[in-house]
Amino acid sequence: MTASLQLSPTVVAVIVGMSVATYVTKAGGLWVLNRVTVSDRVEAGLDVLPGAIIVSILGPELLDAGPVEWGASAVVLVVMVRTENVLLALLSGLAVVLSLRAVV
């Protein structure tokens, strides 16, 4: 293994390239939409985008998972709806996953 504090010039260059590529995507959407006028219809579409993207991340993840993760996700959902406390919801879900995995 390499030394902890080593910074190889090649690796640093690749990381800089990755960060530029990432920033272009992060700034790009805002930049383009600041230059074109958007209709109400498109505005409504952009409005549902956050939820649609989160569902697109989550959906396949859950389909790939099993009963333990489904149960724990349901617990996160219920705790979140009831309490609106993110940390409590996350910790409850984690507790369910760990205890179910210990049993199953």
Partner 1 sequence: MSDSTQQESGDGAEPAVEFSLSGVRNGFTEGTPIALGVAGYGVVFGVLARQAGLSVAEAALMSATVLAGAAQVITIELWDTPVPVLAVIGTTFIVNLRYALMGAALRPWFSQLSPAKAYGSVFFTADENWALTMGKLRSGSRQGAYLLGSGLAMWVFWVLSTVVGAVAGSVVSDPATYGLDFVLTAVFVAISVGLWDGKSDLGPWVTAFAVAALGAELLPGRWHILLGGLAGCLVEVVRFDS
List the interface residues with partner 1, window 44-103 (CB under 8 A). Answer: 44-65, 69, 72-73, 76-77, 80-81, 84-87, 89-90, 93-94, 97-98, 101
Residue nearer to partner 1 on the CB measure, 41 or 103: 41
By C-alpha distance, which of 102, 103, 101 is closest to 66? 101
Minimum distance from residue 58 beta carbon to partner 1 (Å): 5
81-to-53, 65, 76, 89 alpha-carbon distances in Å: 20, 22, 9, 9
Applying the rule CB under 8 A, the residues between 13 and 32 that interact with partner 1 are: 13-19, 21-32
